[in-house]
Structure 1
């Protein structure tokens, strides 16, 4: 019996959720084809080339036969059938089943979405130290787990978790020179009452600064987000596809860079939106969200500014970036965009221990510290043999030798 191409397609392919022009084969390959115009011919060519005998294992209901390995005449063993099915359907090498990791994993209960509860807050603690031969990276993950009492996410609970982790590794509080984290009040508690210098994430401060900069353009950003949401609907995508193949982007509330990407996409879509017919614009609800000439100029300027600001965001992700280099980038940003001074200045209110951070910058640049900065960074002094006691010891040895020689 000849199975229709549409049925074979249902068994072997799934359309992309976001873009129906793309089709995912069960082997992982993705193909672009508008099946409403050109049919399934190109997709079936893939099956003929990569999945020989595909017609024999395709049911008329648009599914694959569960016992596909019977075609291989591998016997009646259920485990053998399942193993062969796995290898064949995923195009794996036959030696895959001999791999020790495969054998262990096959008998283990795999992770499932139900096993991971939503709303669980995990705390990660990473120790950072000068690189050694044993650990060239200079860091190690100490803990990654929920707090002992998940109902209490207060500062003292976090402090207790850190203390418990240190005790497991037999390390006292005194071995912690400083703590780095985001600038939330819970983390700053360690610096305020724990007596440990706290350094807030530069990326977090920068994110807050750029969000403050964007507030002057809040109306434009809100309008852009509404437009993108409209264009992301089924009707909106259909209307947009009639004038361009570019898709909309939605803003992520937690990352300002997503706002930049959304505005860039909006800027790119302006020529296409102007080509959209009034009928389609009304149909998808974007007719009242079109830009005026003044707004288009404002958008273009904002995109340029955000692109410049984003270059600093990328630079802050460099693992080898120093506090001095961060300070230089922040000062440069303040000079161009004064409104960011609230979060980026060396004495910003959000900084938990400004003298300590200023001391680090000065130490890295070789500048002299003020008394306050010297006191704040005193714990960074490396333990060393006192020069005076060493000289006294050497003199005593010298005198002892001379006395012995005289005798």
Structure 2
């Protein structure tokens, strides 16, 4: 799992390992390094990722899948490395919601302009006489900021009308009712967005939510359907979903998950056949029961493949607290060390520090 983050003119790439041990998913940080000379091409990313893996004596051949958003650069990285790409569902959902909101573009611009005006010193002082809630403008790159903006607008609509300076640009009548109706849809999307943020949400649950969304909002199918053009490796993603649900895989899906297959003990197969026959007699009254969809076993990791790269984005938010304006001169190596210790705090404690200090002192 990886993602990029630009701060103070430097583009960093964070790489995380994704693996399973003792039935639990582990996602430790492997490294966060700046791209050389600001080169953000696919080849530059591949070189950086391989360099980080080399630190741990690992190669790209050991990587079973990548989790990242669906931009062209990341798709190129996956293609050149020959590794399946699990496109971040939150990224696809963001694109789908933006598509849904396109017909409301002009109206949302009006609301944003209104709230920007209310943030001016004189207007804000006037508004504060009637409410302590402050106007919130949106960030066009994130649909969730549109939800926050519309929510705040509706909450303070009555108070806004008391500010004479913006009276002429306040949406009234049909426009206001249209915004209220839009907000009902946005509340549903916000609920789905929060579900995608949960660490226990798997790809099977995501597929169920997305299919229901498409049924209610067909306009979203362009980016959310399983065969959308934006999906880099549809056979791998749909194969993971089917393994989770226990349904039969297509030949293409079986091939995509080939490296994750596990040998099934012969004794266990025989026991399952015996149990199936007994169940057939009890439930089918002697009639031949349909065979199980698949007898192929897969590594536990398959059912744990993260549907989003939100883990990386959450950490980037924390990085902003580290690289404050006073620390912008910090060397990338020192920043990486701080980030590594912060993210992987569960892998070390004071005794680890004492042991390392003792080794370095000897």
Selected match of 1:127 from 6, 14, 17: 17
SS in 2 for 1:236: helix
Could you state the TM-score of these two structures normalised by the residue count of structure 1?
A: 0.61
Alignment correspondent of 1:166: 53
SS in 2 for 1:351: coil
Q: What's the offset of the Cα at 1:137?
A: 5.8
Q: Which has the higher contact order (CA 8 A, sep 6+)?
A: 2
Alignment correspondent of 2:195: 315
Are 1:270 and 2:157 matched, yes or no? yes
- Structure with the greater alpha carbon radius of gyration: 1
Q: What's the offset of the Cα at 1:375?
A: 1.2
Q: What's the offset of the Cα at 1:179?
A: 0.5
Alignment correspondent of 1:193: 80
Q: How far apart, CA to CA, are the structure 2 residues paired with 1:196 and 1:117?
A: 29
Are 1:239 and 2:239 matched, yes or no? no
Q: How far apart, CA to CA, are the structure 2 residues paired with 1:170 and 1:239?
A: 63
Q: What's the offset of the Cα at 1:337?
A: 1.2
Q: How far apart, CA to CA, are the structure 2 residues paired with 1:232 and 1:172?
A: 52
Q: Deviations over 1:91-144 (max 9, x none)?
A: xxxxxxxxxxxxxxxxxxxxxxxxx971111100000111349xx661211111
Alignment correspondent of 1:181: 68
Alignment correspondent of 1:141: 29
Are the equivalent residues in 2 in contact too, given 1:205–1:343 (CA < 8 A)? yes
SS in 1 for 2:30: strand
Selected match of 1:261 from 127, 144, 148: 148
SS in 2 for 1:187: helix
Are the equivalent residues in 2 in contact too, given 1:132–1:138 (CA < 8 A)? no
Q: Map residues 143-158 of structure 1 onto 2, 5 A cutoff.
A: 143-147=31-35, 149-158=36-45
What is the total number of aligned residue pairs between the two structures? 262
SS in 1 for 2:86: strand
- Note the residue ranges of structure 2 that are not aligned, 5 or more in a row: 1-5, 267-362
Are the equivalent residues in 2 in contact too, given 1:126–1:141 (CA < 8 A)? yes
Q: How far apart, CA to CA, are the structure 2 residues paired with 1:313 and 1:386?
A: 41
Selected match of 2:136 from 222, 233, 249: 249
Distance 1:328 1:385, change over 3 A: closer
Alignment correspondent of 2:181: 301
Alignment correspondent of 2:164: 281
Q: What's the offset of the Cα at 1:378?
A: 1.2
